[in-house]
Amino acid sequence: KAGVTQTPRYLIKTRGQQVTLSCSPISGHRSVSWYQQTPGQGLQFLFEYFSETQRNKGNFPGRFSGRQFSNSRSEMNVSTLELGDSALYLCASSLVQGISTGELFFGEGSRLTVL
Amino acid sequence: AQRVTQPEKLLSVFKGAPVELKCNYSYSGSPELFWYVQYSRQRLQLLLRHISRESIKGFTADLNKGETSFHLKKPFAQEEDSAMYYCALSGGSQGNLIFGKGTKLSVKP
C-alpha cells in the first residue's frame, strides 16, 4: 500500500507570494491533517479535513487555508508568504476522523523556504 | 490549556543502558497519549499508544494521571533506537494531536 505522498518536496518562494502544497493520503483513508514543523515551535496543527469538510482548525491566520477533494486528496494554500512561514509542512492521513480513533500516517513533508 | 512538555531536547546514553524519555501533559479531561518516532531520513510514525498497553521494540509507556506523565522507557537501549521521539496528546479542543517539541535520543556504542 502506497504511503502518504506530498508534493512538492522542496520549494523556494519570496515574501508576498503564495504557495499550494498537495497531499495524497493512503488509499481508503478519508481524513487528512496538516501540521507545520519548525525548530522553535515543533509540530503545530493547522487543520483537518474529512469527507471534503474542514473538521478542525488550529491557531493559524487566515492566510493558511486548505481543501479536500472527493478522492480525499488535499491541498493547503498559504497566501502572502512571510519569512516566518518557512517550515516543513507535514500531511498525515488516517482511516477515520480524529486521532483518538486511529493513528496518523505521515508523509515526508514539503519543505518551504521563504526568502 | 492543553500542553505536552518534553523537558529534554537531547538524551544521550550508552548501548545497553536503560533509557527514559520524559513526557508531561496538561489536560483537564481524559487524555489519550501517544509516542511517535522519527528515525533518520524516515517519516514520523506511531511507536505506541497508551490505550494499547503494548510494548513495541522493547519500549513501554505508562500513563500516570496523578503525575500527568507518560514517560517512555526501555531497559536496554540499542544503537538503532537513536531517533527523534515525540510525545503527543489527543483531546485538544479541536480534537487534534498536540505534540511535544521532541527529544533526540542518541545511543552510543
A104 and B101: CB-CB below 8 Å? no
B95 and A55: CB-CB below 8 Å? yes
Integer Cα distance of B19 and B35 in angstroms: 15
B94 and A33: CB-CB below 8 Å? no
pLDDT at residue B93 tops 70? no
Residues from chain B that touch A48, judged by Cβ atoms under 8 A, are: 94-96
Task: Report the share of chain B in percent with pLDDT over 70.
Answer: 95
**Average pLDDT value for chain B:** 91
Integer Cα distance of B57 and A1 in angstroms: 23
**Average pLDDT value for chain A:** 92
pLDDT at residue A56 tops 70? yes
Closest CA–CA distance from residue A30 to any residue of chain B (Å): 15
Nearest CB neighbour to A58, from listed B45, B49, B94: B94
pLDDT at B53: 76
Say how many Å lie between the first and final Cα of chain A, rounded: 37
